[in-house]
Amino acid sequence: MFNIRLFFAGFLACLSLFSQANEIEPVHYAYSNYLGSGIYRTTGQDVTLINLPFSLMLKKKGAVTYSLRLPVSLGFFDFDFDDIPNLDLPDSVGTFSFTPGIQVNYQYTENVVIESYLDLGYARNLTTNRNVLVYSGGISSLYSFTVNKYDSIWASRLYYAGYDGHNYDAADLYAAIQLGIETGLPVKYQLFGHTYQPRVFATAFWYFTEVDFDLPIKPTNSALEQSKVVLSNSIEFGVTMKFDKAIGYSWGGIDTIGLSYRFSQNINVVRILFSFPI
């Protein structure tokens, strides 16, 4: 139910932003489904991205599983996760991204899964009324192993994401390699009747090209400036709770909740996780 609450809080916030007069291009919202949920802090500014990784399994045939990806992301400035329980809606910038796609998983061996995906969707800046076409694709391998009752997963990923402006000049593309490991502790607990396993993880990202990360500076004397920084290679570590059974609907349920910290040369991120972290 927590993800549904987040969705409606974000949706109501988006509706309230159509009346905003200032035109601001934020942290590039086109990438929000691939950057992940979090409070991104740089140059004294904050931007909050809420990523809802909805998906639906379509068919399983032998060792191959086909799924429909339905990720939704909402982006806000001057908005903190602490505001969500009180429904304190943001009063500045809002963005919306929806990038549906197809994912194919292949059980290569008992311990190795090969994943691939292709996404094509759009993102909208609700203050400038501008749209961009978003596309992304990637391939991953997940290797499962156990050492002294600690079940672990090693992930290796290669992916890219890009966007093109609709009726205006804007375009960008980046590619990245991600390596990470997640390990479950050999214990289980219950939370509100739901059984979960505590897990820890660490992961690193290497970007072939730096990701543009634009942040607005609040207007001074009716003038609006913009601060431009880039997201460079980064490291992330955190903790999660992996539930034995997903909470919510099959297409939008949560099987993982966690907290992590990502840092790089220019940007620090506190992330709230709603899916497999690596």
- Rounded distance, CA 143 to CA 152, Å? 8
What secondary structure letter does DSSP report for 44?
Answer: T
Note if the pTM is more than 0.85: no
Is there a contact between 149 and 164 (Cβ–Cβ < 8 Å)? no
Tell me whether residue 64 is in a domain.
yes
Determine if residue 148 is left, alpha or beta; phi over 0 gives left, psi from -120 to 50 gives alpha, anything else beta.
Answer: left
Tell me whether residue 67 is in a domain.
yes
- Rounded distance, CA 255 to CA 19, Å? 36
CATH number for the domain that contains residue 220: 2.40.128.130
- Rounded distance, CA 88 to CA 191, Å? 26
Tell me whether residue 80 is in a domain.
yes
Number of domains comprising the chain: 1
- Any residues with CB less than 8 A from the CB of 168 and at least 6 apart, and which? 130
- Rounded distance, CA 214 to CA 229, Å? 6
Give residue 115's domain range. Answer: 2-273
Tell me whether residue 278 is in a domain.
no
In tens digits, the chain (278 residues) has pLDDT values of 334 334 433 433 333 333 343 455 556 778 888 888 877 765 555 678 888 888 888 999 999 999 999 999 888 766 555 555 555 555 555 788 999 999 999 999 999 999 999 999 999 887 778 899 999 999 999 999 999 999 999 999 999 999 998 888 888 888 999 999 999 999 999 988 889 999 999 999 999 877 766 655 444 444 444 456 677 789 999 999 999 887 876 666 688 999 999 988 777 888 888 888 98
Tell me whether residue 97 is in a domain.
yes
Tell me whether residue 241 is in a domain.
yes
Tell me whether residue 253 is in a domain.
yes
**What is the CB-side half-sphere exposure of residue 258 using CA atoms within 13 A?**
28
The DSSP secondary structure of 111-173, one letter per residue, reads: SEEEEEEEEEEEEEETTTTEEEEEEEEEEEEEEEEEETTEEEEEEEEEEEEEEEESSS--EEE
